[in-house]
């Protein structure tokens, strides 16, 4: 009887110790996982985790159609700038004044005997 009581007591304490150790192991695993995920001063973690943040996706950058629309709008702005520049250049007197005859500078009006044939515009002046 004493031996059976001693064996039961030994088995009970052994199973109780095993149950405690399993709980502790689970708790330790959770703690280590939490420590691995969050960098600390002791273990700063890898450089990948330090600089990786949650990026917010904008509505327009999500689909291909939205990107195509953005590219189209950008091209239209560039074309508008180009045409405005061309219009400003056309306002210069060498393009708008007919007396320039396509010259960069207005040609001189020489006396009748000294006039020369102009290769640029094909007129004698």
* Global pTM exceeds 0.75: no
Whether the Cβ atoms of residue 90 and residue 68 lie closer than 8 Å to each other: no
* SS3 call for 117: strand
Number of CB atoms found within 10 A of residue 40's CB: 8
| Residue 25 pLDDT grade (very low, low, confident, very high; cuts 50, 70, 90) | confident
**CA-to-CA distance for 69 and 60, rounded, in angstroms?**
9
| Residue 81 pLDDT grade (very low, low, confident, very high; cuts 50, 70, 90) | very high
pLDDT recorded at residue 46: 63
Question: The tokens of 118 are what?
Answer: 């102009």
**CA-to-CA distance for 29 and 35, rounded, in angstroms?**
10
């Amino acid at each position: 009887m004493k031996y059976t009581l001693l064996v039961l007591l030994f088995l009970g304490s052994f199973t109780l110790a095993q149950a405690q150790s399993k709980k502790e192991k689970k708790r330790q695993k959770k703690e280590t996982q939490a420590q691995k995920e969050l960098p600390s001063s002791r273990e700063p973690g890898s450089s990948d985790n330090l600089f990786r943040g949650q990026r917010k996706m904008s509505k327009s950058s999500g689909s291909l159609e939205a990107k195509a629309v953005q590219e189209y709008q950008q091209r239209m702005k560039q074309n508008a700038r180009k045409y405005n520049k061309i219009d400003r250049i056309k306002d210069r007197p060498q393009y708008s004044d007919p007396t320039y005859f396509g010259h960069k500078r207005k040609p001189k009006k020489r006396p009748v005997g000294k006039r020369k044939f102009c290769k640029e515009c094909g007129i004698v002046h």
